[in-house]
Chains A and B, each alone.
Chain A
Amino acid sequence: MANDREVLREIWDGKLPICFQLAQEEIMEIQQPDAFYVMVPRLSYFPLVTDKMKRHFLRYISQENSDSEMWLDYNGQPLKWHYPIGFLYDLLCGNDPQLPWHLTVHFTKFPEDVLLHCNNKDVVEAHFMSTVKEADVLKHRGQVMSTMQKKDHNQLWLGLQNDKFDQFWAINRRLMESHGDNEGFKHIPIKLYSDDGTCSQRLVSPKNNDGSRKTLQQMVAELYPDKHDVQLRTHGVIIPSDTPLQWLSEHMSYPDNFLHLCVF
C-alpha cells in the first residue's frame, strides 16, 4: 500500500520552473515576444499546461500557422509530449541541471518522424489511461482497472489534470494496493532509459526467489550484470540502491503508474 503520504505529497508537489521562448523563425511581429515563465508540475504532461503559454505566443506568429500543432524542443531535441515533464527534464538535463529550463516553442515544421500528434487533451487522456491500464496488467493482471467505474477513471484523470492530490490518490490508492496476500505486485511496471533516450522495459518481480523484498541494487545486478556503478534517477533525485522495488513502485511511480528511471 502506498501509505507514506509525506513522500507521495513531496513528489506530487514537485514543480519545475520553465522559461518558454518562441523560436526565432516563427516570429512574424517586429516586437520580440517576452519569454513566458511558468512553474510546471513535474508529474504533468506538456499539453495539459501549455494553454496559457500558447495564447501568449499566438499573437506573434503568422496567422496561417495559428491552427497548426505546437511543439517544443530543448537544445534542438523535440520533446515527446507523452512523457511526464519531470521525466523529460531528468532525462535531458539530469546530469547537468539548469533552471529555469529553457524550452523553445514551435508552430511549424512538426517533426513527424519523432513526435506523435496531439490535437487535443483527449489524446493525452487516452494515452494516459492506456498506460495506467498497462501498468495494472503488470501489477494485478488488470483486475483493478477493470473493476473500476468510468467515473473513477475520470476522477483519476481530472485529479492529474487539475493538480488535485487527494482527488487523484483517492483512486490511485486502489491501483497501488497489493492483492491476494499482500506480497506485492505481480510485476513492477518499470521503464528504464539510457542517456540516448532508448527505453527498455523488462518484467521485474518485486521479490527475490527466496521471498525477500528485491532492492533496486538487486534488480540492477540482474538487468545489467556487466555494468557496475549504475545509478538511477527519477523525480530529480538519485534513488538509494537499497530501496525496495515494491516501495519504489508504490510511492515513486509517475501518475501513469510506471516507474520512469533514468540510468547513467
Chain B
Amino acid sequence: MMSSNSLLFSINNEGKVYALSTSGSCWREFMYLGLEFKTLSAVPHYLWAVGGDRQIYLHVHGLEIPIRVKEESYENERWLPLEGFSGRLLPTDRYHFSSQDGTKDRAIDRIRLPSMAWQWEGDWQLELTLDGQPLDHDGWTYAVDFPAQFGPSKQWKSCVRRRKWIRYRKFSAMNSWCAIAPLHKDPTQEPFIDVSIGGNQIPYASPGTLAVWAITAHGRVMYRSGVSTTSPEGLKWIYISIPPNCDIKQISVGPTGLVWALLWTGRAIIRKGITKDCPTGEAWMEVKSPNDTKLVSLSVGFNAIWAVSSDTRVWFRKGIDGNTAGISEGAAMGSGWLEITGHMSYISVGINDQVFAIGDTDKSIYWRSGITPAEQTGKRWRMVQANMQLSRTSSSASVVSSTSNAKHHSLNMLNETTTELKSNINLHNSWEESHSAPIEHTLPMKPKEARQKRNEQVDNIDYTGKSYETTLKNPRAWSPVRSVGSVVGMEAQPDSDSSVFDVDSGMFFDDEISQTAWGTCETTWAFVEAGACSVDVMQVPHWFTDSHNAFNMDLTSKWRIQILDYLKTRNNNVTLDLSTYGLAVEEKGWTRSCESRLINANHSSEDCILSLYWHDLENIGTLSVFQPDGTIKFILNLGEVTSVITSSEPGSPRITLSVPRQNKNPIKVQFISEMEQEEWFNVLVDITSQINGVIGKPSVNSVWAIASSGDILNWDPMPAKLNTANNGKYIKEFQVFGKDIVSGFTTPLHNYFPPGSTIKITGCLNDEINRFHINLEGPEIKKQRHKIETEVTEIPLHFNVRFEEKVVVCNSKINGSWGVEERHELPMSPGQEFCITIICDIKAFKILVNDKLYCFCEHRLSPKTITSVAVKGPLKLYSMEYSTTNAIIGSEEMYWRIMGGYLRRVESCQNGIVWGISHDHRVWVYTGGWGGGILKGIGSKEGIHSMTDTQTYCVYENQRWNPLSGYTSTGLPTDRYMWSDITGKHKRTREHTKLLNRHWHWISEWMIDYNTPGGVDADGWQYATDFPAPYHGKKIFTDCVRRRRWYRKAQIITEGPWIRAGSTALLDISIWANGDEASVWAITLAGDAIYRTGVTVAAPTGVHWEHVNNPQSLIAISTCNNIVWVVGRKGELYYREDITKDNPSGSNWKLIETPKFSHPYNHKTGAGAKAVSLTKTTAWVLLLNGAIAVRTDISRNQQDGKDWKHLTECDLTFKHVSAEENEVWAVTTEGVLQRRLGITADNVVGSAWQPILSSSLVHVTARGGCLQ
C-alpha cells in the first residue's frame, strides 16, 4: 500500500490545500487553519507555500523518523604543574570548548537551538567510549599535545586531555505549518508573491541539499540560505539582484537547482551558473517567448521546462540538460519551444519530469501520460479523477459557527506569543539579522514552555473544523509570521506521522469524522504542485477512470461470475462416462534446445548445445548438454538441481545450476542473448520448482538467502517434510551399493541421531576379515598441530567387531581421546550375511544383531553430537536405512527456489513475516506471492509489485606528479592503471563500464564524487605520497600521486512479491516473532535505532517507526525475546535495557564487553563486531575480521550474557550469520552458504560447518526456525 506513496498537492479556488497520494484515490484536505494559500512548491517531505497573508510557510511531513541533529563539543584541558588538569589553556592552544579539530569555539552554553521549531533531546552528555572501548566515567582521553592521537589512558607524558560532549536537537514542528520570518518587522511591508523549492538533485552536491527561492511583492528575488533536509527552515533570505526593468511574477527551481523566472511582461529569464559551490548562480539570461506570446506560468523539471502562455497554449522547452545546466548556458536555456496540444492555465513538472496541468476551461487537473526519457513530451493529457473529501470548511458545505471556539482560542494564543516575539525582535533592530532564525535566548519562552503551549494547541484544536468560520475578518491580524518556527497548526503526533498520511483514511481528521462524506463533487482547481509527486509510469495511480485499472472490479462483477459459472458447468448436465474417451491431443513431453557456452571452473569456456526435456504429467525433466559434434557431454536429472540462479556479467548472460549430487562445482552456462537467458531461466525455475513441489507462498519455517546477483532464494523444508513423513517417522535409504567399504564409507546423518532414531545396516562379511567397525560420529574437525589436519574428535558410539580377538568392543571418543572399552561376545563370523540395527534410546544405544538384542551402550556423549555414520572393513553393504523423528533433508536435497524481486538483505522470523532491504537501503515486505520480473507466467500475479533498486558504479582516475608537466595521467611503469577500481589492480574505465542486463539503465552521467571518504579538493582529487597510501584532501609538498573517484548511478526496474514499507532508508533489520505479532527493530542509514509499531501477520508492513535515542551511530541490530543488541560504528556492542511488551522502546543502552581474541589462522586481531544475530540464549557475533564469536548464557535477567566463546576449529571467514535456537546459518566470505552442525544445549557453539550451497551468496536468514 505504500509502494510508491508520494503526494500531488493542489489548491482549489477557495485557497484550500489538498493532497492526493499516488497510492490512494481520494483528495485529502489539509486541516484548515483560517489561512488560505496562494501558491505551493514541494519536494518530497518539504512543502513551501505563500499564504493568503502573503507570508511564507513551511510544512514538513511524511518523514518517518524525526529530523535530529547532533551537536558536538570537545572540552579541552591542559595539565599545569601544581593545579593538575585545568581548563586554563595556553594562549596558543585551542578553545576550552572547541570543534574536533580545535579551530572553532564551541562553548556549550552558546550552542543554541536555531529556532522555535527545534527542541533539545535531553541535556549535554559525555561520550564514554573511544573506538568501542569504554572510557572511565569522566570520558577523558589523553595525548601529549593537541594535534595528536588521543588515547584512553593517562600516561606520564600526557599533557593535554579532552572529552566530547554531545547533545541532540530535534525538529519538532513536523506536520504543521511553520511560519518563516518576514523580511521586515512589519510583515506587510514587503510580502511575498511566490516561492519555489528544488535543488534536491544538484549535481555533486552533498545529500540533503535544497534550494528555496522566493519573489517579494516589490519584485525582489530572494534566495533562502542554509536550507537542507536537516535544516528545513534554513537561515536567512539573501537578496539576488535582477536586471533592470525586470518585474518578476513567478519563479521555479528545478531539481538540479536550475532557476527560471517569469516576468509580468510574459518573458522568462534564467539564472545561469548555479552549481553546488555557487547555489545562487552568477547572472541572468533572457529567453525569447514562443512566437511573441506571453507566458503566464512555467515550471522547471530535470531535463524539461514546461510553460503556458496567455492564450492557454502549452509549450515544452527543448534541449534542457539538468546535469550540465550549471556549467553550460545552452543546457540551462534549451534550444527552442515546442507547442504541445491542449489548453491549460497552469502547469507543474514533478519527479521524473512528469507533468501536471490545470485545464483552461474545466479547471480540472490533467496528467501528461507517456512521458519517458525517450519521449519527453509524452502522448496525451489524462484527467485526474479522484474522489473529493467533502469539506466542512469549504463554503460549498454548510458551515455553522457553533458553540465552542477552541481554535480561536489557540490562535489567539499564537497571537500572544507573536506580540511577545515582536518586542524581542525589536531588540535586534537591523532587519538583516532578523532574517536569520531567532535564537533561543532572545525568545521569552523556554523550549519546555513552548512545548507545553504547543501541546495545548494540539489539545485545543478542533479537528472537525466544524466550529470554524470560513473566513476571518482580518487574517493579517493574527498571522503568526514573526518568528521562524511559529507553529500554525499541528497534528496529534508530530514526530511520527505515517498514520497522518495514511492512504485513504482520514488524513487530517480523527475517527470522529471519518464518516465525512466522500464524493465526486466538481472542484475547480486554481493551482497544482507536482514537485513531490512520483508517478510510476509502469503502474499508474488509480486516478484515472479511463484506464483498465477498473479490471479489479471486473473480478467481482456479476457478468464475470456468471460467465465463469456457465463455463464450469458446461458439460455437467451430460451423463456420459467420459473415461472411455481417448484424448485427441497426446500428452507428450516437450523439448527445447539452444546453443550456448559452458563456463568451466577455470573461466575457460566451450561451445555446447543445451537440450531440455520436460514431461509435466510424469513430473520429470532432464537437461542434456551436447558437444557441438552431437556427442553427449553429460545429462542432468532436473530433480537433482538444487538451485538455478542468474550469474550474468555485463555482456555475458549466464545461469548457474547447482547439482551437488553430480558435480561439486556448479554448472555455469552462458547464453547467446539476454532474451534467451531469461527464457531458459524462467523455464528452468518453473520446472525445478514443479519437480520439487514448491509453488506459491513458502512455509514460515523457510530459510531465505540472497545471491550476489540480487536473486532471492528460498528453501522450504515443509514439502520434503510432508512427503517423507510416515507415522511421525522419517525414513531414508542411503545408496550403499557398490561403495568401497574397505577404505571406509561415511555418510551424513541429518538431524543428528536423537532418541527415537534407528539405523539399520545389512551386508555380507568377506571371508578374509580381521575387524570392521561402525561409528556414529561427529564432524571432522581441523586441528592445527605441526600441520593442519582433520580428525573426528567426538565419536559417541564406536562399534568394533574384532574377529582376531573374538570380541566386540564398544567405546566412545570424547574430545579426541578414547574412553573405557566395553567388551562383548562375538555374534557373527566371517563370510556371513549380517544385519545390525542401532536404536537410540533416551539413555543408551540399543544394538540388535540379526534382529536379536545384542547389547546396550549407555550414552557417554549426547547423541545430538552425531552428524554422520561411518563403516569401515572388508565387507559389502546391501542396505543402510536411517529412520528418525524429523525430516531428513540433506544439502543435496534442499531446493532453493527463486522467489522474484531484487534485494540485498532479507530477514525472516517464525511467524512468516519477511522483510528485505534493497541496495539503495529501501525497505520491502514480502507479500506472499511468487514470480514477477523475468519469471513470467510463474506463480500468479497476486502480490507482485514493481520494484526498483539503485546501485552506484565507481571508477578511480589516478595521476602521478612529474617535475615537468605536473600531474598527468602518465604513470610509472610499475603504477596501477590510470583508470582503475579502488584497489588499482583492475583496469576500469568509464567508457567500458557496462550495465549488467537490459533491465538496468543509467540514471545519471559519470560524475566526480566530492564526498569520497578522506576528503577531496575543489576538483575532487585526493592526494597521497604514493599509491597504496592513505589519501587526504589537501595537497601537501610530499604528495606525488593523486586520484579521484567518478561515480554513476544505475537503476534496475523489475517486479517481485515485495511491497515498500515506509520510506526510511535502513542499514539493518531484525524481526522477532511473538505469536502473531512481531517486533521489528532496524538501523537507519544515519545510524539510528528505530522500531516498527503494529507489525502483525495480518499487517506485516506495520504502522510507523518509533525512534530510540542512541549515543553512537549504529550499524547492525538483532532482537529476540525482547532483548535487543546493536553494533556501533566502531565495533562496540550494546544492549537495550528494560524492553517489555508494554515498554517496547526500553530505557537505556548498555555497553557489552567486547570479544577479545586473535584468530588462530589468519593472525588478524581486531575484536570489533560488525553484525550480530541473537537467539534466546546466545548471540552470534560476526567480527570485523570475519570470525564469529558466540556470547553464551543470555537470559532476560542477564541480557548481555556471560562468556565469549569462539569457533576455534574453523578457518573460515564470514560475511553474514543468522541464528535461531539451534539453527545457525552463515555465508562465508567466498559466498558459500554454511550450516552449523552439532549445536546442543550443552554445546552452544556447535561443532562444525556443513557447506550447503556454493553459489555466490551474500545474505541468509534462518530465523524462520527451519526444522524445529
- Say if A and B assemble together: yes
Contact string against A for B residues 562-574, beta-carbon threshold 8 Å, 1 for contact and 0 otherwise: 1110111011001
Q: Can you report 21 A-B residue pairs in the complex whose CB atoms are below 8 A from each other?
A: A3-B551, A5-B940, A5-B941, A7-B564, A7-B567, A36-B582, A39-B578, A39-B581, A39-B582, A44-B585, A52-B584, A99-B576, A162-B585, A162-B590, A164-B590, A167-B590, A181-B380, A182-B547, A183-B546, A237-B570, A242-B559
In the assembled complex, how far is the CB of residue A75 from the closest CB belonging to chain B, in whole angstroms? Answer: 19
Which of A49, A178, A238 is in CB contact (< 8 Å) with B566? A238
Query: Please, how many angstroms separate the alpha-carbon atoms of A7 and B380 in the complex?
Result: 33
Which of A164, A178, A240 is in CB contact (< 8 Å) with B562? A240
Chain B, 512-568, CB within 8 A of any chain A CB = 546-548, 550-551, 554-555, 558-560, 562-564, 566-568
Chain A, 1-35, CB within 8 A of any chain B CB = 1, 3-7, 10-11, 14-15, 17
Q: Does B1251 contact A (CB under 8 A)?
A: no
Residues of B within 8 A of A (CB): 369-370, 379-380, 382, 546-548, 550-551, 554-555, 558-560, 562-564, 566-568, 570-571, 574, 576, 578, 580-585, 588, 590, 936-937, 940-941
Contacts of B558 in A (CB 8 A): 240, 242
Query: Please, how many angstroms separate the alpha-carbon atoms of A49 and B574 in the complex?
Result: 22
Which of A3, A17, A211 is in CB contact (< 8 Å) with B546? A211
Q: Does A106 contact B (CB under 8 A)?
A: no
Residue of A nearest to B573 (CB): A97
Q: Does A235 contact B (CB under 8 A)?
A: yes
Contacts of A4 in B (CB 8 A): 554-555, 560
Decide: A39 near B560, CB < 8 A? Known: A1-B548, A10-B567.
no
Q: Does A40 contact B (CB under 8 A)?
A: yes
B560 touches A99 (CB 8 A): no
Residue of A nearest to B682 (CB): A170
Which of A5, A7, A213 is in CB contact (< 8 Å) with B560? A7
In the assembled complex, how far is the CB of residue A197 from the closest CB belonging to chain B, in whole angstroms? Answer: 22
Decide: A243 near B563, CB < 8 A? Known: A3-B941, A39-B578, A41-B585.
yes
Secondary structure call for the B interface = mixed
Q: Does A84 contact B (CB under 8 A)?
A: no
Contacts of A74 in B (CB 8 A): none
Query: Please, how many angstroms separate the alpha-carbon atoms of A240 and B382 in the complex?
Result: 31
Contacts of A181 in B (CB 8 A): 369-370, 379-380, 382, 547
In the assembled complex, how far is the CB of residue A54 from the closest CB belonging to chain B, in whole angstroms? Answer: 12
- Centre residue among A39, A44, A242 by max chain B CB count within 10 A: A39
User: Residues of A within 8 Å of B, CB-based: how many?
Assistant: 53
Which of B369, B550, B551, B578 is in CB contact (< 8 Å) with A17? B578
Contacts of A169 in B (CB 8 A): 937
Residue of A nearest to B566 (CB): A237
B564 touches A183 (CB 8 A): no
Contacts of B576 in A (CB 8 A): 17, 99-100
Chain A, 50-83, CB within 8 A of any chain B CB = 50, 52
Query: Please, how many angstroms separate the alpha-carbon atoms of A164 and B683 in the complex?
Result: 14
B583 touches A38 (CB 8 A): yes
Residue of A nearest to B559 (CB): A240
Query: Please, how many angstroms separate the alpha-carbon atoms of A7 and B557 in the complex?
Result: 13
A166 touches B937 (CB 8 A): yes
Query: Please, how many angstroms separate the alpha-carbon atoms of A172 and B10 in the complex?
Result: 42
Q: Does A239 contact B (CB under 8 A)?
A: yes
Q: Does A111 contact B (CB under 8 A)?
A: no
A180 touches B567 (CB 8 A): no
Residue of A nearest to B578 (CB): A17
B584 touches A39 (CB 8 A): yes
Instruction: Give 4 new A-B contacts, CB below 8 A, not counting A14-B570, A44-B585, A213-B550.
Output: A37-B582, A237-B567, A240-B562, A243-B559
Residue of B nearest to A248 (CB): B563
Contacts of B584 in A (CB 8 A): 38-41, 44, 49-50, 52
Decide: A178 near B578, CB < 8 A? Known: A41-B584, A162-B588, A240-B563.
no
Query: Please, how many angstroms separate the alpha-carbon atoms of A166 and B941 in the complex?
Result: 14
Residue of B nearest to A86 (CB): B570
**Among all A-B residue pairs, the 10 with the closest Cβ atoms:** A237-B566, A49-B584, A240-B559, A163-B585, A99-B574, A10-B567, A243-B559, A40-B584, A39-B581, A236-B570
Q: Does A189 contact B (CB under 8 A)?
A: no
Query: Please, how many angstroms separate the alpha-carbon atoms of A87 and B369 in the complex?
Result: 40
Which of B369, B379, B567, B936 is in CB contact (< 8 Å) with A235? B567
Q: Does A255 contact B (CB under 8 A)?
A: no
Q: Does A247 contact B (CB under 8 A)?
A: yes
Contacts of A99 in B (CB 8 A): 571, 574, 576
Decide: A184 near B548, CB < 8 A? Known: A10-B568, A240-B562, A243-B563.
yes
Residue of A nearest to B369 (CB): A181
Query: Please, how many angstroms separate the alpha-carbon atoms of A221 and B413 in the complex?
Result: 68
In the assembled complex, how far is the CB of residue A52 from the closest CB belonging to chain B, in whole angstroms? Answer: 7
In the assembled complex, how far is the CB of residue A145 from the closest CB belonging to chain B, in whole angstroms? Answer: 18
Which of B382, B546, B566, B581 is in CB contact (< 8 Å) with A37? B581
A170 touches B936 (CB 8 A): yes
Decide: A178 near B548, CB < 8 A? Known: A3-B941, A162-B590, A170-B936.
yes
A37 touches B580 (CB 8 A): yes
Query: Please, how many angstroms separate the alpha-carbon atoms of A242 and B369 in the complex?
Result: 29
Residue of A nearest to B936 (CB): A170
Query: Please, how many angstroms separate the alpha-carbon atoms of A3 and B555 in the complex?
Result: 10
Contacts of A36 in B (CB 8 A): 582
Contact string against B for A residues 221-259, beta-carbon threshold 8 Å, 1 for contact and 0 otherwise: 000000000000001111110111011000010000000
In the assembled complex, how far is the CB of residue B1003 from the closest CB belonging to chain A, in whole angstroms? Answer: 25
Contacts of B546 in A (CB 8 A): 183, 211
Contacts of A244 in B (CB 8 A): 554
Residue of B nearest to A158 (CB): B590
Contacts of A238 in B (CB 8 A): 566
Query: Please, how many angstroms separate the alpha-carbon atoms of A182 and B380 in the complex?
Result: 12
- Centre residue among B548, B550, B558, B590 by max chain A CB count within 10 A: B548
Query: Please, how many angstroms separate the alpha-carbon atoms of A164 and B551 in the complex?
Result: 26
In the assembled complex, how far is the CB of residue B341 from the closest CB belonging to chain A, in whole angstroms? Answer: 14
Contacts of A7 in B (CB 8 A): 560, 563-564, 567
Decide: A182 near B581, CB < 8 A? Known: A7-B564, A100-B576, A239-B563.
no
Contacts of A50 in B (CB 8 A): 584
Decide: A6 near B380, CB < 8 A? Known: A41-B584, A162-B588, A237-B570.
no
B581 touches A17 (CB 8 A): yes
- Centre residue among A11, A41, A163, A247 by max chain B CB count within 10 A: A247
Chain A, 184-214, CB within 8 A of any chain B CB = 184, 211, 213
Query: Please, how many angstroms separate the alpha-carbon atoms of A167 and B682 in the complex?
Result: 12
Contacts of B382 in A (CB 8 A): 181
In the assembled complex, how far is the CB of residue B904 from the closest CB belonging to chain A, in whole angstroms? Answer: 30
In the assembled complex, how far is the CB of residue A235 from the closest CB belonging to chain B, in whole angstroms? Answer: 7
- Centre residue among B382, B546, B558, B574 by max chain A CB count within 10 A: B546
Query: Please, how many angstroms separate the alpha-carbon atoms of A62 and B580 in the complex?
Result: 28
In the assembled complex, how far is the CB of residue B381 from the closest CB belonging to chain A, in whole angstroms? Answer: 10
Contacts of B370 in A (CB 8 A): 180-181
Query: Please, how many angstroms separate the alpha-carbon atoms of A244 and B551 in the complex?
Result: 11
In the assembled complex, how far is the CB of residue A259 from the closest CB belonging to chain B, in whole angstroms? Answer: 13
Residue of B nearest to A170 (CB): B937
B581 touches A1 (CB 8 A): no
Query: Please, how many angstroms separate the alpha-carbon atoms of A7 and B565 in the complex?
Result: 10
B567 touches A11 (CB 8 A): yes
Query: Please, how many angstroms separate the alpha-carbon atoms of A7 and B1163 in the complex?
Result: 65
- Centre residue among B370, B554, B580, B590 by max chain A CB count within 10 A: B554
Query: Please, how many angstroms separate the alpha-carbon atoms of A39 and B583 in the complex?
Result: 5
Query: Please, how many angstroms separate the alpha-carbon atoms of A183 and B546 in the complex?
Result: 7
Chain A, 142-158, CB within 8 A of any chain B CB = none
Contacts of B369 in A (CB 8 A): 181
Query: Please, how many angstroms separate the alpha-carbon atoms of A178 and B590 in the complex?
Result: 31
- Centre residue among B551, B558, B563, B574 by max chain A CB count within 10 A: B563
Contacts of B571 in A (CB 8 A): 15, 17, 99
Query: Please, how many angstroms separate the alpha-carbon atoms of A205 and B574 in the complex?
Result: 38
Query: Please, how many angstroms separate the alpha-carbon atoms of A4 and B558 in the complex?
Result: 15
In the assembled complex, how far is the CB of residue A106 from the closest CB belonging to chain B, in whole angstroms? Answer: 19
